[in-house]
A and B are shown apart, each in its own frame.
Chain A
Amino acid sequence: MELIYEKSVPGRRGVKLPASDVPSASALPEGLLRTEPAGLAEISELDLVRHFTNLSRRNFSVDTNFYPLGSCTMKYNAKVLENTAALFAPFHPMTALLPGGEEFCQGSLGMLYDLGQMLADITGMDEVTSQPLAGAHGEMTGILLISAYHRAKGNRKKYVLVPDSSHGTNPASATIAGYEVITVPTAPYGDMDMELFRQAMNDEVAAVMMTCPNTLGLFNPHIKEISDIAHSFDALMYYDGANLNAIMGKVKPGDVGFDVVHVNLHKTFGTPHGGGGPGSGPVGVKKALIPFLPQPRIVMDDDGVLSLETFRPGSIGRAANFFGNFGIMVRAYAYIIMLGREGLIRVSEQAVLNANYIMERLKPFYDLPYDQTCMHECVFSASRQLAHGVHAIDIAKFLIDRGFHPPTVYFPLIVKEAIMIEPTETESKAAMDAFIEVMIEAARTAGSDPQALLDAPLTMPVSRLDETKAARELNVCCLV
């Protein structure tokens, strides 16, 4: 499909701007003036609408295809959430920071405060900051909070421990927050190796970052023991909330020893993924870390009036401009109050049931390196298919031709040829059965006609793309 710039015609206009009702000002000094207008599109409104509508049709999405992308929780995004977010569109965030301005933001601030309370209940924390703009941003914020805690206590800490099954963001966030990373291998039972963990712990460890259930979809039964060991060295426990969808109402990270959590609203709380964002990554902490939370902090007085603490001497400062990705929090808030207590519990139950159902049905056809009851996702390996020269990525491409978005296939790194499947609770049995049939067909075709998998996909606007060429030539912007 042509680029929008290739459809441009010099002099063509799109939207008409409002007329000016003030006199024309004199010109800016020469040195400051733009010499030539930026080469933006010049396209009529209808052509623009067709362009983006047709682009959108070149995407798979939750609303058009089953999207069992492991670790990403691609659940259905309720339409009413979009409507609620639009209600808040006209409110300027600076209003709350003006002297006397909080009075005119009680609705927005109250929503944030209540959402924080509900997330604190779900995760077993004492207070939540809404500021972090995504999961990884929450991790960085959380580890900085931990470092502020250690600094205040005069602890000398150097390391953050992560299991080798962790998301790549964990070590990357710990590094930005100033720590060296120690990676602990996974034991054959699918969790961080307890013996190696004990050996790795020392007085210089600032935090242990865990995803629980982990990226293999397994709940670590030793989690309390791990927390106790970490705490005995005054290391804090960080909970990566990427997999919270499995355990709502069943277990609270705060109850099993976690001190800091981030929550991915775009995963667990039904807000759309937007083709890669915006997400939202609020961070919850136990009491001991509240003094270090970012500013401005929202507080409520005895009469229920909300105000902002804009200057907090112990704070790590500011993670982002204002109050975080507010529009995403509106959606998450609406999601939580709509589903309610029973609804959230059911979400986790059905997410876990669906994952176990798929795991059980595909077990005869794919290797399952960690064969146990899983939580919300399961991780297969295409090692059996590899014998025929078929990689996990080839199975992924075959699925695309059959109308299914592939599972996650590059992750976790500790499983060779990983196929990580997370159906989520919103999929029907019929949709999963159709997916399972195609997965079985892929496994059979790998044996009978491997070339068919290597050639896929054939039905998309493009066939397999030359990623090497893209990385060597680095054409990242249209030059003409």
Chain B
Amino acid sequence: MSIYFTKEHEWVKVKDGIGAVGISEHAAHELGDITFVELPAIGKVIKQFEVLGAIESVKAASDIYSPVSGKVVKINEALNDAPEIVNESAEDAGWLAWIEISDEKELQSLMPREQYDEYLKTV
């Protein structure tokens, strides 16, 4: 399954038209101990790079921008009680939401893993 990243450090993994969305390990590390994840409502229709949710740590708060346009079909409710999952497994168990992607062409505006790694060296 291919993974794409945004400049704001979100990722999306795509399978059968559904994109799982989360934040990168780099972002999770930068935020520090995460204390709260604000998840979108199921059914929410969102455009690419609009605010999908938010993540808070003790000393920071950060908006999460959706890497793709589409409709939220599932959210990771485990994060409500255990936001630390994002710290422990940002790019896997710490996913935030599943989005039914409305336009897969948008993925071209995102960065594959290698390009994102290069990008991280510049920030």
Contacts and interface: CB of A to CB of B under 8 A. Distances in A.
A405 to B, nearest CB: 20
A472 interface: yes
A472 B59 contact: no
B19 interface: no
Interface string A467-479: 1100110000000
A468 B59 contact: no
Contacts of A467: 58
Interface residues of A, number: 5
A410 interface: yes
Interface residues of B, number: 9
Contacts of B36: 471-472
B70 interface: no
Interface string B27-43: 00000010110000000
B83 interface: yes
Contacts of B35: 468, 471-472
A472 B83 CA distance: 8
A472 B37 CA distance: 11
Nearest to B58: A467
Contacts of A472: 35-36, 83-84
A471 B59 CA distance: 10
Contacts of A410: 59
A468 B59 CA distance: 9
A471 B57 CA distance: 8
Interface string A408-445: 00100000000000000000000000000000000000
A373 to B, nearest CB: 32
Contacts of A468: 33, 35, 57-58
B78 to A, nearest CB: 14
A146 to B, nearest CB: 28
A410 B59 CA distance: 9
A377 to B, nearest CB: 22
Q: Which residue, B35, B36, B56, B59, has most C-beta atoms of chain A within 10 A?
A: B35
A474 to B, nearest CB: 9
Contacts of A471: 35-36, 56-58
Contacts of B58: 467-468, 471
Nearest to B87: A468
Interface in A210-241: none
Interface of B: 33, 35-36, 56-59, 83-84
Interface of A: 410, 467-468, 471-472
Closest 8 CB pairs of A and B: A471-B35, A468-B33, A467-B58, A472-B35, A471-B58, A468-B58, A468-B35, A472-B83
15 contacts: A410-B59, A467-B58, A468-B33, A468-B35, A468-B57, A468-B58, A471-B35, A471-B36, A471-B56, A471-B57, A471-B58, A472-B35, A472-B36, A472-B83, A472-B84
Given A468-B58, A472-B83, 13 more contacts: A410-B59, A467-B58, A468-B33, A468-B35, A468-B57, A471-B35, A471-B36, A471-B56, A471-B57, A471-B58, A472-B35, A472-B36, A472-B84
